[in-house]
């Protein structure tokens, strides 16, 4: 008999990629603000924000691609590929030329 599931086991897995992207977007705003507060020129802060935004966008694209690849691998593990011509095994052959047995052919 399986053990009863606790509340922690019933929760869905956290979406860590979205969390990373949210923090990165927050940093794209926070870092230039801090730079301006510490006396760096506005142009330098804006260029820093643009650079961080570009890096964040590239990381987001790579994370999403990785998630799609992982989901594809999980789906293949759950439903393994069938054999050639969509046969599941040796017993799935139907309607062949040979009827079986040793009956003579005229």
Distance CA 69, CA 2 (A): 32
pTM exceeds 0.85: no
Give me the count of residues in the chain: 106
Nearest to 50 by CA among 28, 21, 34: 28
Give the pLDDT of residue 89: 54
How do residues 42-62 score in pLDDT, each as one tens digit?
999 999 999 999 999 999 999
DSSP 27-46: HHHHHHHHHHHTT--HHHHH
Distance CA 67, CA 81 (A): 21
């Amino acid at each position: 008999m399986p053990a009863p599931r606790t509340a922690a086991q019933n929760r869905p897995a956290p979406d860590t990629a979205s969390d990373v992207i949210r923090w990165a977007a927050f940093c794209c705003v926070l870092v230039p603000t801090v730079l301006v507060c510490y006396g760096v020129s506005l142009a330098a802060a804006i260029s820093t924000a643009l650079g961080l935004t570009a890096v964040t966008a590239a990381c987001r694209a790579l994370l999403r691609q990785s998630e799609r690849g992982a989901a594809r691998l999980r789906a293949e593990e759950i439903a393994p590929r069938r054999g050639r011509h969509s046969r599941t095994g040796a017993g799935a052959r139907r309607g062949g030329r040979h009827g079986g047995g040793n009956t003579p052919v005229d």
